[in-house]
């Protein structure tokens, strides 16, 4: 499907959902779905409005809190994003995604210990959540806990062998554990899967692998 066709399809979806919201203004599903589609098309202010409306109708809608928090994170409004994800934790039976989101906020702020703790909570709630392990490896590398980062990185690619970012983060962990040949192999896998590594890391690794 071409980009133009996709945009046209999304425009049709938006028009239908806007009509649904007018006809049934208390519909949680319609407002929530419309907010998500607005976000996909880059209309963030409209997405915020619809997700806020969703929460007004149903203040226990954990998905709306998580999705609205993600938008605020994209907009750089980290305090709002943190508050919404914490509210989501009160509603979610499976709060792994909210813990990952909170970890990302902490990591973005440079609060690495807090980020690690949040990612660990996510892996406890959902041991099969590969993104939690990928982010955990990243934050543990930042904390210079390289053995722990290596274990987390291996777990991520074990869970999702085609996860490009997982292979990249595993490569970085291997590099700092001085296993340069294996780091090179993992980096090549990441690139083959479509990941674009940092140029400085490629150069540093090339110096070690002759």
Give the pLDDT confidence score for residue 7 in this predicted structure: 55
Which pTM does this prediction carry?
0.85
Average pLDDT over the chain reads 93
Q: Which two tokens stand for residue 207?
A: 């110096």
pLDDT tens, 56-73? 999 999 999 999 999 999
Say if residues 115 and 146 touch (Cβ distance below 8 Å). Answer: no
Residues with Cβ within 8 Å of residue 135, at least 6 apart in sequence: 100, 103, 104, 107, 115, 119
Q: What is the Cα–Cα distance from 133 to 119, expressed in whole angstroms? A: 7
Is 205 in a helix, a strand, or coil? helix
Residues 8-39: tens digit of each pLDDT? 578 888 999 999 999 999 999 999 999 999 99
Confidence of residue 1 (pLDDT cuts 50, 70, 90): very low
pLDDT of residue 115: 98
CA dist., res. 67 & res. 99, Å (int) = 13
**pLDDT value of position 77:** 96
Of 119, 116, 117, 118, nearest to 129 (Cα)?
119
């Amino acid at each position: 499907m071409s980009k133009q066709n996709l945009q046209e399809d999304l425009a049709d979806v938006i028009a239908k959902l806007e009509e649904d919201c007018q006809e049934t203004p208390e519909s949680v599903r319609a407002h929530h779905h419309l907010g998500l589609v607005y976000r996909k098309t880059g209309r963030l202010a409209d997405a915020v409005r619809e997700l806020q409306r969703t929460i007004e109708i149903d203040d226990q809608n954990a998905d709306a809190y998580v999705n609205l928090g993600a938008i605020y994170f994209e907009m750089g409004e980290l305090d709002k994003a943190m508050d919404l994800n914490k509210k989501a934790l009160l509603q979610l039976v499976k709060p792994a995604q909210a813990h990952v989101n909170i970890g990302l906020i902490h990591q973005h702020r440079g609060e690495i210990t807090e980020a690690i703790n949040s990612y660990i909570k996510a892996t406890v709630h959902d041991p099969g959540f590969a993104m939690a392990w990928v982010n955990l490896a990243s934050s543990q590398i930042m904390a210079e806990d390289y053995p722990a980062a290596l274990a987390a990185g291996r777990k991520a690619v074990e869970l999702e062998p085609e996860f490009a970012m997982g292979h990249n983060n595993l490569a970085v962990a291997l590099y700092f554990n001085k296993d340069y040949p294996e780091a090179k192999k993992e980096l090549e896998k990441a690139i083959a899967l479509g990941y674009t590594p940092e140029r400085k890391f490629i150069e540093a690794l090339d110096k070690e692998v002759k």
